[in-house]
Amino acid sequence: MQKKAYLLLEDGLLVEGKAIGKDGTTGGEICFNTGMTGYQEIYTDPSYFGQIIVNTNAHIGNYGAIDAEQESEAPKIAGIVVNDFSEVFSRKTSTESLQQYLERHNVTGIADVDTRMLVRYIRSKGAMNALISSVLTPDQMREEIKKVPSMDGLELSSIVSTKKSYFVGDPNAPTKVAALDLGIKTNILRNLSSRDCYIQVFPAKTSFAEMEAWKPNGYFISNGPGDPAAMDYAIKTVKEILASNKPTFGICLGHQLLAQASGISTYKMHHGHRGLNHPVKNLISGKGEMTSQNHGFAVSEKDIEKNPDVEVTHVHLNDSTIMGIRLKSKKAFSVQYHPEASPGPHDSNYLFDQFMEMIRSGVKELEAVNS
């Protein structure tokens, strides 16, 4: 008989289900992802560090797990909540069941939960902390949940970032990109290296001077977890990168930090955007894009209106939140969503090409000056 588990939300809602993954207790901010596929990519995305993920797709685990679908070396989530959990998988290339994978990585979860009800509840009440346990009583959980920190004001990137710099790609590639790792996803590096880039990935708290000493042609500011307003060190670094006027591209947290470095504030959203089906309009081209998103913070629309140097390039078609900006006086742009989306959609892949073109045009300008 499968072990019982409980899910407790900080406002008192208690849900009973069955234990999956590793027996134990885990806490974090609860949020939901509407993706129909890609659960392993979600669990290994460092941007989810400290969060409990509710998968809205009814069936989770049915295609198992495989190392090729990792977005980092191991799951970064605090826990998972699912409806129908399958320990049997049909994909022949998978190397283990999702249950085996979760146990191996010490991830605690709960299944047989009415996730439709739970998602509607979170959409109504907003993001909040939660606790999953297969070992504590509900009364014990009510005391334990008080210890879970709020995501608002929490700095987490330095925890998930690489501890030592490393290289990705061909050393003989014509373009050098310095990537500031705030929780970078593997597929971002694949997208850059596939475009003839040699990338050096630097720890979150690396100084601009250290990165610039490598003489990169451009800078990439990565995605990552936590509150951007709590990251004074990264805001300072991005300001120095902008002062160099080298081509700069930011994704997700990188987008929020580009805004912060430009004097634009960020705020915590009611329940965030997480999924593979978010509609975005490119205001420059007029085209619509289906996008992958994962963020609980956004940049201030009012602050952008007051800053003549910042142009909005993309907006969310559901709620009109800012999805992309570019600086008029600098070679810098960013988007709030994930153009590297794995498994997809791939509508926004062109943004990497845009970054490459910005770098190459800058190299040609420099060569013309020095010739």
108 with 23: CB under 8 angstroms? Answer: yes
d(CA 80, CA 100): 14
Strands 288-299 and 310-316: unpaired
What is the CA angle 313-318-322, rounded to 5?
30
Is the distance from CB of 50 to CB of 78 less than 8 angstroms?
Answer: yes
Distances 280 to 49, 50, 222, 277, 317 between C-alpha atoms, Å: 25, 27, 20, 10, 5
Cβ–Cβ under 8 Å, residues 62 and 95: no
Which is nearest to 228 in space by CA: 162, 179, 292, 299? 299
Q: Could you list the active site residues? A: 252, 338, 340
**Which of 106, 93, 90 is CA-nearest to residue 20?**
106
Nearest CA to 45 among 75, 81, 80? 75
* Residue of 109, 134, 114 whose CA lies nearest to 1: 134
Nearest one of 48, 254, 256 to 159, comparing CA atoms = 48
Backbone angles phi, psi at 11, to 5 degrees: -85, 5
Chain centre to alpha carbon of residue 123: 20
Are 236 and 216 in contact by the 8 Å Cβ rule? The answer is no
- Give the HSE-up count for residue 179: Cα atoms under 13 Å, Cβ half-sphere: 31
CA 230 to chain centroid, in Å, comes to 17
Q: Which residues contact 65 (CB under 8 A, 6 or more apart)?
A: 40, 94, 95, 96, 97, 98, 100, 101
The C-alpha angle with vertex 283 and arms to 177 and 242, in degrees rounded to 5, equals 35
